[in-house]
Structure 1
Amino acid sequence: MVRRFFRTEAGSTSVLLGATLLALLWANSPWGDTYEAFWHTRMGLTFGEAVFSLDLRHWVNDGLMAVFFFLIGLEVSYEVRLGQLRDRRLLAVPAVAALGGMLVPAAVYLALNAGGPGAGGWGVPIATDTAFVLGLLAMVGARCPEPLRAFLLTLAIVDDVLAIIIIAVFYTEELSVPALLSAVVLLVAILTLRRLKIWRAPAYIVLGFGLWVATLESGVHPTLVGIGLGILVFVYVPSEYKLLSAGEAVQELTNEPNARAAREAARRVRAAVSVNERLQFQLHPWSSYEIVPIFALANAGVRLDGETLRQAVTSPIAIGVAAGLLLGKFAGIAFGTWLPLRLGWGVLPGNLVWGQLLGGAAVSGIGFTVSLFIVDLAFDDQAIQNQAKIGILAGSALSALSGWIIFRLAWDRGGVCAPPEAAAEPPETLPEVLSVPVGPDDHVRGPAKAKVTIVEYGDFECPYCGRLHPVLEELRARRPEVRIVFRHFPLRTIHPRAVPAALAAEGAARGGRFWEMHDTLFSNQRFLTDADLRRYAAELDVEPWPDLPGQLARVARDEESGQASGVRGTPTLFINGVRYQGALDRASIDRAVKEAEQP
Structure 2
Amino acid sequence: MQLAHPDPDVSEGDSAPRFPRLRAILHHRRGFSDSEKTAAALLLVATVVALVWANIPLGHSYDDFWHSTVSLQIGTNTLELDLRSLVNEGLMTLFFFVVGLEVKREFALGELSVWSRAVVPVAAAVAGLAIPAVIFLLINHTGETSRAWGVVISSDTAFLLGALAIVGPRLPGHLRTFLLALAVVDDIGALAVIAVFYTDKVHILPLVVAALALAVIWALRFVTVAQGPLYVVFSVIVWVALLASGVQPTLGGVAIALLIPVYAPRRREVERAAELSRAFRQSPNPVYAQAAVRGLLNSVSVNDRLHTLYTPYTSFLILPVFALANAGVHLSADTLAAAVASPLTWGVVAGLVIGKLVGITGMTALIRMLRVGVLAPGLTLGRVAGGAALSGIGFTISLFIIDLAIDDPVLQDEARVGVLAASVIAFALGSAIFRIVDRVQPPSRMSLVLARPIDPQRDHIRGPVDAPLTLVEYGDFECPFCSRATGSIDEVRAHFGDQLQYVWRHLPLTRVHPHALLAARASEAAAAQGRFFELAPLMFAHQNDLELDDLLGYAASLDLDLDRFEEDMRSSEVVNRVRDDAIDAELMDVHSTPTFFIGGKRHVGPYDAPALIRALDAGLGLMPGHSEERA
Q: What TM-score do the two structures reach when normalised by structure 2?
A: 0.71
Give the residue type in structure 2 aligned to 1:416: P
Q: Secondary structure at the match of 2:79?
A: strand
Does residue 271 in structure 1 map to residue 298 in structure 2?
A: yes
> Alpha-carbon deviations, 1:61-88, whole Å to 9, x = none?
0110000000011111111112111122
Q: Find the partner of 2:201 among 147, 151, 174.
A: 174
Change (3 A) 1:76 1:335: same
Deviation at 1:371, TM superposition (A): 0.3
Deviation at 1:263, TM superposition (A): 4.5
Does residue 63 in structure 1 map to residue 94 in structure 2?
A: no
Q: Find the partner of 2:60 among 28, 33, 50.
A: 33
Q: Which moved more, 1:222-231 or 1:135-144?
A: 135-144
| Aligned-residue identity in percent | 38
Q: Distance in 2 between matches of 1:226 and 1:254?
A: 39
Does residue 564 in structure 1 map to residue 601 in structure 2?
A: yes
> Alpha-carbon deviations, 1:399-451, whole Å to 9, x = none?
001111111122222243489xxxxxxxx9999xxx99x9xx994469x99xx
Q: Distance in 2 between matches of 1:281 and 1:4?
A: 19
Alignment of 1:2-81 (within 5 A): 6-81=33-108
Q: 2:568 maps to which residue?
A: 527
Change (3 A) 1:202 1:386: same
Q: 1:293 maps to which residue?
A: 320
Give the residue type in structure 1 aligned to 2:72: L
- Aligned partners of 1:488 and 1:559 also within 8 Å: no
Q: Which moved more, 1:409-418 or 1:330-339?
A: 409-418
Q: Which moved more, 1:120-129 or 1:228-237?
A: 228-237
Give the residue type in structure 1 aligned to 2:191: I
Deviation at 1:53, TM superposition (A): 1.1
Change (3 A) 1:562 1:480: closer
Deviation at 1:9, TM superposition (A): 2.8
Q: Find the partner of 1:383 among 407, 410, 413.
A: 410
Deviation at 1:188, TM superposition (A): 2.1
- Aligned partners of 1:13 and 1:135 also within 8 Å: yes
Change (3 A) 1:259 1:117: closer
Q: 1:487 maps to which residue?
A: 503
Q: 1:90 maps to which residue?
A: 117
Q: Secondary structure at the match of 2:394?
A: coil
Q: 1:185 maps to which residue?
A: 212
Q: Distance in 1 between matches of 2:535 and 2:283?
A: 47
Deviation at 1:146, TM superposition (A): 2.8
Q: Distance in 2 between matches of 1:418 and 1:8?
A: 31
- Aligned partners of 1:455 and 1:575 also within 8 Å: no
Deviation at 1:42, TM superposition (A): 1.5
Deviation at 1:35, TM superposition (A): 1.5
Q: Distance in 2 between matches of 1:317 and 1:342?
A: 35
- Aligned partners of 1:20 and 1:300 also within 8 Å: yes
Q: Distance in 2 between matches of 1:137 and 1:562?
A: 33
Alignment of 1:247-286 (within 5 A): 247-251=274-278, 262-286=289-313
Q: Secondary structure at the match of 1:303?
A: coil
> Alpha-carbon deviations, 1:355-401, whole Å to 9, x = none?
32211111111110000000010001000100000000001100001
Q: 1:578 maps to which residue?
A: 612
Q: What TM-score do the two structures reach when normalised by structure 1?
A: 0.74
Deviation at 1:190, TM superposition (A): 2.1
- Aligned partners of 1:356 and 1:416 also within 8 Å: no
Q: Distance in 1 between matches of 2:598 and 2:206?
A: 62
Q: Distance in 1 between matches of 2:289 and 2:599?
A: 47
Change (3 A) 1:46 1:562: farther
Q: Distance in 1 between matches of 2:561 and 2:421?
A: 51
Q: Which runs of 5 or more residues in structure 2 are unaligned? A: 1-29, 511-516, 537-557, 575-594, 614-631
Q: 1:334 maps to which residue?
A: 361
Q: Distance in 2 between matches of 1:4 and 1:531?
A: 20
Q: 1:551 maps to which residue?
A: none
Q: Which runs of 5 or more residues in structure 1 are unaligned? A: 420-427, 534-557, 568-572, 580-599
- Aligned partners of 1:24 and 1:303 also within 8 Å: yes
Q: 1:201 maps to which residue?
A: 228
Q: Distance in 1 between matches of 2:89 and 2:599?
A: 51
Q: Secondary structure at the match of 2:384?
A: helix
Change (3 A) 1:216 1:563: farther
Deviation at 1:207, TM superposition (A): 1.1
Q: Distance in 2 between matches of 1:578 and 1:559?
A: 9
Q: Distance in 2 between matches of 1:116 and 1:559?
A: 63
Give the residue type in structure 1 aligned to 2:378: N
Q: Distance in 1 between matches of 2:72 and 2:535?
A: 63
Q: Distance in 2 between matches of 1:258 and 1:455?
A: 57
Give the residue type in structure 2 aligned to 1:225: G
Q: 1:159 maps to which residue?
A: 186
Q: Which moved more, 1:118-127 or 1:134-143?
A: 134-143
Q: Distance in 1 between matches of 2:265 and 2:463?
A: 35
Q: Distance in 2 between matches of 1:454 and 1:107?
A: 50
Give the residue type in structure 2 aligned to 1:15: L
Q: 2:399 maps to which residue?
A: 372
Q: 2:543 maps to which residue?
A: none
Q: Find the partner of 2:244 among 196, 205, 217.
A: 217
Q: Distance in 2 between matches of 1:531 and 1:155?
A: 18
Change (3 A) 1:415 1:481: closer
Q: Distance in 1 between matches of 2:188 and 2:397?
A: 11
Q: Distance in 2 between matches of 1:379 and 1:205?
A: 33
Q: Secondary structure at the match of 1:235?
A: coil
- Aligned partners of 1:104 and 1:324 also within 8 Å: yes
Q: Secondary structure at the match of 2:407?
A: coil
> Alpha-carbon deviations, 1:308-355, whole Å to 9, x = none?
111100100000001111111111110121122222233334422233
Q: Distance in 2 between matches of 1:376 and 1:442?
A: 54
Alignment of 1:336-375 (within 5 A): 336-375=363-402
Q: Secondary structure at the match of 2:72?
A: strand
- Aligned partners of 1:9 and 1:130 also within 8 Å: no
Q: Find the partner of 1:317 among 340, 344, 355.
A: 344
Q: 1:543 maps to which residue?
A: none
Deviation at 1:122, TM superposition (A): 0.5
Change (3 A) 1:261 1:214: closer
- Aligned partners of 2:352 and 2:422 also within 8 Å: yes
- Aligned partners of 1:245 and 1:268 also within 8 Å: yes
Does residue 149 in structure 1 map to residue 165 in structure 2?
A: no
Change (3 A) 1:454 1:327: closer
- Aligned partners of 1:143 and 1:407 also within 8 Å: no
Q: Distance in 1 between matches of 2:298 and 2:222?
A: 18
- Aligned partners of 2:262 and 2:303 also within 8 Å: yes
Q: 2:143 maps to which residue?
A: 116
